[in-house]
Structure 1
């Protein structure tokens, strides 16, 4: 397996494992997580009163992985391009299927608002103009795998294709671009920290037609979060201040920033980064999924516990190698 192939598989593996580890803790407070599970350091069944994933089995993934795989399919079918109309159609079909199964794991707030407008016949050029949450960032990893970073304009265009219909804002685009660019740089052979730093340099310079919003800048918050990750030697102090000073909500300038802090702090131990992420509270599955994608792209799949990865693949019926190969063929 080449370095690029290892990076592609590592990114998808880290994404799915982080997602599955965070499934039982998502949308819970740190105190509620501790009361229900203690310290989460393995795959766990969701408790019966889990607010989103009630009773889901250990190893099950959520919308983070499933939507990323939808994006991957569209990229492969479109020979590198994503048709925003087809993305909207696939996401609506995915949610309808989830509803039919009685699942509460549905579309996030920005995506749901945009796609309800699509369902009612709105022009997709207008539907994403308020989306600032992390829905685009959580599903963008395949774009980073399929596109090299040296052509930043093409990379930016492909990222925009993936977020326009639901997150057509500066914050929505930059959050997705930070994840995709970091993943793409990791596949080029950069270390985790090198990729994070270079992504923070490249993304603010990328042009986007996304709408301005009064939200704090995602790259600026990510830089602050990295500094926070270096300030505290004690893990408990670091996690507490990450929760209080950065935030772990679905807003991109909190969750993407938190993922950058975790990836930076645990650059040499990606598995521990995921364990830290899923105990923070808030949008734990998405923070862990983004952290896993970025660290896995540089470190490869061997950075993660193979037993846990095998269980996720089995329970969630994933063939990540096939997906990685399809995306890498387009990258070449």
Structure 2
């Protein structure tokens, strides 16, 4: 259990940091600038969103997932008010509104909470992938209890990404992580859990124009299964052609789940495949990392990658995983 929890947290950071230099580039641009990304790189001068981040440095994707972890550890549950307070502190301490790394829905949320406005009202239109990218700790905390993972994912999404699609994608990832950390399942069963989570989430979010997340996850699974005999790079290119890889949650999350399924939950294959697609590469890398790490565990991850992440960012991800599982166990008792 610890191996899977630790795997999910550390692989989130690995995917985030490794995808960072390719963010908002096309596959062709990535090939021209970097060749193929296979390790941690500093951002090229063409990379404007993350040009101040060093090689191996994490971005807001991992930082927000760590905020969710701290809420669960401290409160023993997902506490919305504590989450909002921690996000407010993060925004102030790191001057996030002056940065270029946060997405539009998170930016709007931070502006509202810093000004004392009604964040639930403002969050109704949030349809980017911020809620999904940070939700993995909720899946870890509620491993083996998919319904509770989905319920907490709804609560975590509504303040900033409260649209039907925004809530659905958070629920899809939380359900998939909860299933994976519990173990003894196939990637197909994880995908089915994600579809179920998305279906529930679509009933809980606010109605905004968007395609069905559940239908798109099912499409991603069908595309992967149909082309299983092809190299994973071709499968991922196909997913990109049909679904996209942008920050809209109904692109990012179905794509990331499809890459997870195509990689059979392998961390290295999954992360390297998705980041070289580009577009919202750091977030897609973080989500695929969270999924594959939860499925295959930290013991399957390149130890040099783990060492680079933990030394560069001075974060003990293994201890956080232990604390998450310990807090979850206390609640169950």
Query: What is the TM-score when the length of structure 1 is the normalising length?
Result: 0.91
What's the CA shift string for 1:276-324, capped at 9, x where partnerless?
1111111011111111111111210122211111101110112111111
- Helix, strand or coil for the counterpart of 1:127? helix
Tell me the distance in 2 between the aligned counterparts of 1:121 and 1:55: 30
Q: Which residue of 2 aligns with 1:174?
A: 168
Shifted more, 121-130 versus 35-44: the winner is 121-130
- Helix, strand or coil for the counterpart of 1:126? helix
What's the offset of the Cα at 1:184? 0.8
Q: 1:36 to 1:97 in 2, by over 3 A?
A: farther
Tell me the distance in 1 between the aligned counterparts of 2:268 and 2:85: 35
Q: 1:143 to 1:236 in 2, by over 3 A?
A: closer
Which of 48, 64, 67 is the matching residue for 1:67?
A: 64
Tell me the distance in 2 between the aligned counterparts of 1:297 and 1:197: 16
Residues 59 and 315 of structure 1 are in contact (CA less than 8 Å); yes or no, is this contact kept in structure 2?
yes
Q: 1:102 to 1:130 in 2, by over 3 A?
A: closer
Listed as ranges, the matches of 1:18-97 within 5 Å are 18-83=15-80, 85-97=81-93
Tell me the distance in 2 between the aligned counterparts of 1:95 and 1:256: 25
Residues 22 and 275 of structure 2 are in contact (CA less than 8 Å); yes or no, is this contact kept in structure 1?
yes
Q: Which residue of 2 aligns with 1:163?
A: 157
Give the number of the structure whose residues are more often helix, by fraction. Answer: 2
Q: 1:202 to 1:141 in 2, by over 3 A?
A: closer
Unmatched 5+ stretches in structure 2: none
RMSD: 2.0
Unmatched 5+ stretches in structure 1: none
Residues 150 and 197 of structure 2 are in contact (CA less than 8 Å); yes or no, is this contact kept in structure 1?
no
Query: What is the TM-score when the length of structure 2 is the normalising length?
Result: 0.91
- Helix, strand or coil for the counterpart of 1:128? helix
Listed as ranges, the matches of 1:69-218 within 5 Å are 69-83=66-80, 85-99=81-95, 103-105=99-101, 107-150=102-145, 152=147, 154-189=148-183, 190-205=185-200, 208-218=203-213
What's the offset of the Cα at 1:102? 7.1
Residues 168 and 205 of structure 2 are in contact (CA less than 8 Å); yes or no, is this contact kept in structure 1?
no
Residues 167 and 201 of structure 2 are in contact (CA less than 8 Å); yes or no, is this contact kept in structure 1?
no
Tell me the distance in 2 between the aligned counterparts of 1:265 and 1:151: 23
What's the CA shift string for 1:195-230, capped at 9, x where partnerless?
222332354146854201120011211111122223
Matched residue pairs, number?
A: 326
Shifted more, 109-118 versus 250-259: the winner is 109-118
Tell me the distance in 2 between the aligned counterparts of 1:251 and 1:102: 22
